[in-house]
Amino acid sequence: MMETAALVLDHYQWQAALISLLGIIVLTKAGKFFVFKVPALAQSRSDNREQDKLKLAKSKYPPIVKDNQRVGLYCNLVFFLILLPFCSTLTWPQWWQVPVNVLLILLVYDFFYYLMHRFLFHGQGRFRQVHALHHQARKPTYIDAHYVHPTETVMGLSLFFATIVGLALLQGPFHVLTIVLVYVAYVQLNQINHTYIQLPYFPFRHLTQITVDHHTHHENMHKGNYASITMLYDRLFGTYEKPGTPR
Ligand SMILES: [Zn+2]
Ligand SMILES: [Zn+2]
C-alpha cells in the first residue's frame, strides 16, 4: 500500500504542472499586450467590446457567462491539480517533438470535438437543447465564446483534457512547453472564432477567415463547420460551408 502511494507520488510532477500554469498565464498576458499594439486589432477589440456591452446589458447574458466561468474554473482545477502532474515533465525532449506534439494534441482533440459537435450537439437527443443556448448568438462577438451552457463547457473541456491524458498514456508525459503552447492555442482559437473581425487583407486574412467560418456555423442550427481548431475535418467529411449559402 505504502509502496503504491510512493510510486504514484513519484510520478506526480507538481513542479511541471505549476510551471505550465505560470507559463500559460505569462504567454497569454504577454501575447495580448503585444497583439493589441497593432492598431487594426485594437480597433477590432474595441468593436467587440461595444457589442459585448450591449449583450451583457440583457438580463440573460450575465448569469450564463458567470456560470460558464465558474464551471470552467472547477474543470481547470481538476486538470492542473490532479491530471496534469501525471502528464507533464520538465525533461527536455528533442526540439521537434514540441511542435509535433502541439499539432498532434490539437488535431486529435479537434477530430473528437468535430464528432461530438456534429452528432451530439447537432443530433436529435437532449444535447441539441443544451447547445441551442450557444446558438442563440446569430452574430457572435467575443462574449459569445462564454455564452455556453455549463454542461457543454464541461464536455468541451473534458474532451480537451482527456485528449492530453490519453496521448500522455500512449506516448509518455508532454514537456511543459508543449502544454503551454497547446493550452494557449486551444483557449485563444475558441475565443477568436467568435469575435467579429473584418480585416480581409494581408496579414489578417487567415485570422478573418477563422471568424467567418465559425460565424457561418452560427447562422442557424443546420449549418456545417463543426470543428473548432481547423476546418480540416469539415473539408474531409463534406460539411465545410461558406457564409450565406441557403439552408
Ligand atoms: Zn453548433
Ligand atoms: Zn460558437
Q: Per residue in 13-31, pLDDT tens?
A: 999 999 999 999 999 999 9
Q: Is residue 242 part of a domain?
A: no
Say if CB 73 and CB 120 are below 8 A apart. no
Q: How far apart are CA 239 and CA 234, in angstroms?
A: 5
| Predicted pLDDT of residue 7 | 67
Question: From the CA of 214, how far away is ligand 2's center (Å)?
Answer: 6
- Nearest ligand (C-alpha, residue 215): 2
| Predicted pLDDT of residue 244 | 77
- Nearest ligand (C-alpha, residue 137): 2
pLDDT at 186 over 90: yes
Q: What is the mean pLDDT of residues 210-233?
A: 97
In the chain, % of residues over pLDDT 90: 94
Whose grid coordinates read 481547470? 76
Q: Is residue 9 part of a domain?
A: no
In the chain, % of residues over pLDDT 70: 98
What nine digits make up the cell of 199? Answer: 480585416
Q: Is residue 161 part of a domain?
A: yes
Question: By residue range, what is the domain housing residue 24?
Answer: 15-236
Question: From the CA of 175, how far away is ligand 1's center (Å)?
Answer: 33
Number of domains forming the structure of the chain:
1
Question: From the CA of 185, how far away is ligand 1's center (Å)?
Answer: 20
Q: What is the mean pLDDT of residues 85-104?
A: 97
What nine digits make up the cell of 102? Answer: 502541439
Q: Is residue 243 part of a domain?
A: no
- Nearest ligand (C-alpha, residue 190): 2
Q: Is residue 143 part of a domain?
A: yes
Q: Is residue 148 part of a domain?
A: yes
Question: From the CA of 89, how far away is ligand 1's center (Å)?
Answer: 35
